[in-house]
Amino acid sequence: MSINGAPFCGPPVLASTATKSHTLSTLLAQMFVTAHQSVEATSRSMWLTIRRRNYVTPTHYLETVRNYKALLAEKRTELLSKSNKLSGGLTKLDETRVQVSTLI
């Protein structure tokens, strides 16, 4: 679907969110590739300097991505828990405020 010849991606908020998500995914992918290539370059340098091999395989790259995803899920769970706790505390404060106002 298009509007005035431009593709329609839904309301601006949704389009913006989709773009940010895509941009974040792209940046994360670039970060992982850069880190993997940096380790490969350092491994080559290590071989030339001290003649010690350090093998970097695609499996190492995939393990890094898996570990990142696991850590991200853990941190999101932590954040959700803290958010729920804060929300509960604010609700209690509001209830207390109402009760105190009835006492006055």
What is the spatial distance between Cα 99 and Cα 95, in angstroms, rounded to a whole number? 6
What is the spatial distance between Cα 50 and Cα 48, in angstroms, rounded to a whole number? 6
Give the chain's residues under pLDDT 70. Answer: 1-18
* pLDDT reported for residue 58: 87
* pLDDT reported for residue 20: 74
* pLDDT reported for residue 12: 45
* pLDDT reported for residue 1: 38
* pLDDT reported for residue 17: 55
| CA angle at 91 for the pair 85 and 94, rounded to the nearest 5° | 145
